[in-house]
Homo-oligomer: A and B are copies of this chain.
Amino acid sequence: MRFPLRLARPTIYPGDIIAGVITAVLLVPQALAYAFLAGMPPEAGLYAAMAPALIYAVFGTSPALSVGPVAVVSLMTASTLAPLAPAASADYAQQALLLALLSGVMLFLLGLFRLGVLINFLSFPVISGFTMGAAMLIILSQLPQILGLNLPTSGDAWSQLVRLAVSLGGSSWLPALYGCVSIGCLLAARGPLRAWLAAAGMPPRLATLACRTMPLLLVLVASACVTFLHHGGTGLRLVGPLAAGLPVPRLPEFSYEHFRALIGPAALIGLVGYLEGISIAQVLGRRHRHEVDANRELLAIGLANILASVTRAMPVAGSLSRSVVNDGAGVQTKWAGVLTALLVAGSSLLLSRLLETLPRAVLAAIIIVAVLRLLELPALRRIWRYNRADGLAWVATTLGVLAAGAELGLIAGLVVSLLLYIWRTANPHIVEVGRVPYSDLFVEADRHHEVELWPQLLLVRIDESLFFGNASAVQNFVIKQVSARPQVTDVILICSAVNAIDSSALQMLEDLTDSLQRGGVTVHLAEVKGPIMDRLIGSRLLSILGRQRMHPSTSAAVLSVAAPPI
């Protein structure tokens, strides 16, 4: 088995052309929709699907990955910028470009220093819970559009729900009609429509094509309806003025103040975007035996964001849903991505008048249907059943995202999952041992009743590396044992299974030695491993213990304290 590396080759396959066209059909309305979700002018979404996708085709490693505007990153962009600048202002757009630049540079640097492995710290429950919470937030943010309400989309889930409920009376039927019909068509196209059309006598190939071009059909039909039924002036919100054409490259404005406010969110947005792309790219790559290189992906997505910033677009990432469509349409090389970018550019030049009369409710419907597949309740059930702690991390992340927004929710989930992990490793295996008679073997005293013990001696074996999470458990164990036996004068800690001692544990050992020695009890260490011994040289522990309390073997330690047993 071998994973050949397939970069852009001179050959373009028929599958690439079909996939490129179908992805473009999906991408044009999504680009407008995600631009609005991010609080940006609609053309920013189109620009985000051009230059960044081209640069990814040059440097990326996955043929199927569709780089451009994505829902979660757009949501995070909006929630980052909402408190910093008024929506749709020039300042807002500038800060979005700075955000793309910063997250691009950060991803690029991570790739340069080959730190793709950092991504490991986000556990599966946290990623899954985050996706769930973000999808719910995105759907919530689109409901006002569908209901014809003009509400702010910022704030936590609860306040958005309350705001929606309060203003429900002001909703109007026309956007609701456009929105619900669109949702129905898109869901049908994904599910039963092909079977219906085939049953109605349509040739199967045509039925498949009809399903796949549904977003384009919707856009055409809805725009036509608005124009011919004169729905434009009836309170139906449309896409509105669209700066047609191609972006003019320009460096984003830079100020230290904005830099400070945006650097943290940029890191998170970059990471989340990268994660969405790399996870689907790896799944598709394994399926088709392309190798997907995490560090090259970091470089490519980083460059895509830097280019997004320079071409007046918005933060970009690899889209999960479009990549799946791309793959299903038979993509083979990265020429598909190039074709998609060119088609989006063509649409921007030629179709802008048509897109301007598109109702925002249709875009909201496209977003809602796109993120519906991110609602992973079965994943929660599976995780919860398999492992309570992981389920807890999932729930904490989802609730965190809903209550405090995408960024803080992700951080909360990360911290909870790390804490739970430490919690699980914080109870080391510590046992009292005794000697097997007539031997140098020391075994657990509770399991082997025939072992020799000495009343003045406590032999403790620690079966775990010592670190801040379990240091106090070790300390409590020793103190409890010593307190229970007033005749103990010497404690021997057997470190044969201790691979590392961090400085919190070192501090604990120093405190323990100090306080036991004040109480007339001497501490000994036995079988300390070489690398740890090297570190201990020069530490306070060694100077309070003295070299003569460090023993190469447990029997040497016992002999130094107790008379040989009769």
Contacts and interface: CB of A to CB of B under 8 A. Distances in A.
A418 B469 CA distance: 10
Nearest to A286: B515
A181 interface: no
A362 B539 CA distance: 40
Given A124-B468, A515-B287, A424 B482 contact: no
Contact of A3 (B124, B414, B424, B483): B483
A365 B473 CA distance: 40
A486 B518 CA distance: 65
A518 B3 CA distance: 12
Interface string A441-485: 000000000000000000000000001111111000001001100
A286 B517 CA distance: 10
Interface in A368-415: 382-383, 385-387, 389-390, 414-415
A476 to B, nearest CB: 9
A469 B421 contact: yes
A422 interface: yes
| Copies of the chain in the assembly | 2
A1 interface: yes
Interface in A494-544: 500, 502-504, 506-507, 511, 514-516, 518-521, 535, 538-540
Contacts of A422: 121, 418, 421
A125 B486 contact: no
A389 B503 CA distance: 9
A2 interface: yes
Q: Chain A at the B interface: mostly helix, strand, loop or mixed?
A: helix
Contacts of A414: 415
A3 B418 CA distance: 35
A216 interface: no
Given A422-B421, A519-B1, A468 B120 contact: yes
Given A386-B539, A483-B2, A535-B387, A124 B504 contact: yes
A243 interface: no
Nearest to A116: B472
A421 to B, nearest CB: 6
Residue of A426, A471, A472, A520 with most partner-chain B CB within 10 A = A472
A121 B468 contact: yes
Nearest to A403: B260
B120 A511 contact: no
Contacts of A418: 415, 418-419, 422
A123 interface: yes
Nearest to A125: B503
A503 B1 contact: no
Contact of A1 (B283, B417, B520, B538): B520
Contacts of A389: 502
A516 B419 contact: no
A289 interface: yes
A62 to B, nearest CB: 14
Contacts of A417: 468
A519 B289 contact: yes
A559 interface: no
A488 interface: yes
A473 B119 CA distance: 12
B386 A503 contact: yes
B503 A383 contact: yes
Given A386-B539, A483-B2, A540-B382, A121 B514 contact: no
29 contacts: A1-B482, A1-B486, A1-B488, A1-B521, A2-B486, A117-B426, A117-B472, A120-B426, A120-B470, A120-B473, A121-B468, A122-B468, A123-B468, A123-B502, A123-B504, A124-B504, A282-B511, A283-B511, A286-B511, A286-B514, A287-B515, A287-B518, A382-B540, A386-B535, A386-B539, A387-B502, A389-B502, A390-B503, A421-B469
Top 4 closest pairs, chain A to chain B, by CB: A286-B515, A123-B468, A124-B504, A1-B519
Interface of A: 1-3, 117, 119-125, 282-283, 286-287, 289, 382-383, 385-387, 389-390, 414-415, 417-419, 421-422, 424-426, 467-473, 479, 482-483, 486, 488, 500, 502-504, 506-507, 511, 514-516, 518-521, 535, 538-540
Given A390-B502, A421-B468, 6 more contacts: A2-B486, A120-B426, A123-B503, A124-B468, A286-B514, A415-B415
